[in-house]
A and B are shown apart, each in its own frame.
Chain A
Amino acid sequence: MAKSHKPVVWFPFAAGGTVIAFFIPVIVLLTSMAALGHVPDGLTYERMHAFAGSALGKLVIISVVALSLWSSAHRLRCTCFDFGLRADKAVATVLYLAAVAGSVAAAVYLLRI
């Protein structure tokens, strides 16, 4: 019986890294278009609301947001350590709590749509 909590942290990190690599660039591209004044049809209120209102849409959105948040938190923790911030336990606690809080908030907002 493995007695390490590492897989629990590591699995969503690896899954999140994959999700970030495949999907975050194109999502950033979409909101960049909106930032430059060319809002894509898919980002209008009707289309976004319909997408986030469907069960499949909710599942896709919460997967992307929660996994990306967790992966970013883990990478930021490593980044802090590499830049010389050696209070790893405090950094890890703050970042992981932030990732969990963000995921819960995202789930609550999705359920309201």
Chain B
Amino acid sequence: MSRRPLVRVCPPTTWYFRQPRYLRYMSREITSIFVGAYCVLLVVALQRLAAGQAAWEGFLLALQSPLSIVFHLLALVAAVYHAATWFNATQKAMPVQIGEDFLPGNVISGAHYVAWVVLSCVVLFLAGVF
């Protein structure tokens, strides 16, 4: 008697279209492309800064090209989406137990959002935006 176990077919390139939650997962994965590209831009910025004042000012001017503006807007959306989904996940990743009970998940994620806003304002203040 031959045994034929069930092998579930999983298309390697299109599996995430099966379920909305897979699509949401993949939409978060895609943000890593923009974040990764932006990290490369940060290294380039350091190189320009080390090369002197003229190089740095040329870099700032190059940021104003249409391609750079489009990239920055996409990277901004990707970074904010990445951060928000990260903070939403914290309540699952590190639940806080007090005695018998667990701290409500919204409190954990909410605390992260508050810290995020405060830290962002501090950075903006140090950078002289206000």
Contacts of A93 in B (CB 8 A): none
The total of chain A residues at the interface (CB under 8 A) is 52
In the complex, which residues of chain A have a beta carbon less than 8 angstroms from the beta carbon of B119?
A: 22-23, 26
Task: Find out whether the CB atom of B29 lies under 8 angstroms from the CB atom of A75.
Answer: yes
| Residue with the greatest number of chain A CB neighbours at <10 A, chosen from B43, B76, B82 | B43
B interface secondary structure, majority = helix
Q: Bound complex: CA of A37 vs CA of B120, how far in Å?
A: 21
Are B12 and A86 in contact (CB-based, < 8 A)?
A: yes
**A24, B124: Cβ atoms under 8 Å?**
no
Chain B residue total in the interface (Cβ 8 A): 49
Q: How far is the CA of A93 from the CA of B45 in the complex (A)?
A: 25
- When A26-B123, A35-B68, A47-B128 are in contact, do A82 and B49 touch as well, CB less than 8 Å? no
A19–B44 Cα distance when bound, in Å, is: 19
Q: Which of A81-97 contact B (CB under 8 A)?
A: 82-84, 86
Q: Which of A20, A37, A109 contacts B79 (CB 8 A)?
A: A20
> Are the CB atoms of B129 and A33 closer together than 8 Å?
yes
Contact status A31-B127, CB under 8 Å: no
Q: Please report the C-alpha to C-alpha distance between residue A69 and residue B39 in the assembled complex, in whole angstroms.
A: 6
- 30 example contacts (A-B, Cβ-Cβ < 8 A) are as follows A20-B35, A20-B83, A21-B87, A22-B83, A24-B83, A25-B120, A26-B123, A28-B79, A29-B120, A30-B123, A30-B127, A31-B41, A32-B76, A34-B64, A36-B69, A39-B60, A41-B128, A45-B49, A45-B53, A48-B56, A68-B35, A68-B39, A69-B39, A75-B29, A82-B16, A82-B26, A106-B43, A109-B50, A112-B50, A113-B50
